[in-house]
Amino acid sequence: QMVWCQLFSEPGAGSDLASLSMKAERVEGGWKLTGQKIWTSVAQHAQWGFCIARTDPSAPKHDGITYFLLDMKSEGIDVRPLKELTGEAIFNEVFLDEVFVPDDCVVGEVNKGWQVARNTLSNERVSLSRGGGLGAGLPELLEFFGGRELDEAARVEVGKLVAQGQSIDLLGLRTTVKQLSGLNPGAEASVRKLLGVQFNQDVADYVWAAQGTSAVLEDMRGLSGKWARYMLFSRAMTIYGGTTEVQLNIIAERLLGLPRDPEPGK
Residue (of 3, 68, 6) closest to 241 by Cα position: 6
Going by C-beta distance under 8 Å and a sequence separation of 6 or more, which residues neighbour residue 153? none
Interacting residues of 160 by C-beta distance below 8 A, sequence separation 6+: none
Task: Determine if residue 244 is left, alpha or beta; phi over 0 gives left, psi from -120 to 50 gives alpha, anything else beta.
Answer: alpha
Q: Is 124 a catalytic residue?
A: yes
Beta carbons within 10 angstroms of residue 70's beta carbon: 24
Q: How far apart are CA 135 and CA 205, in angstroms?
A: 11
Question: Which three-class secondary structure state does DSSP give residue 200?
Answer: helix
Instruction: Report which DSSP code applies to 238.
Output: T
Q: What angle do CA 175, 170, 139 make, to 5 degrees?
A: 115
Catalytic residue (choose from 10, 98, 124, 263): 124
Catalytic residues, by residue number, are 124
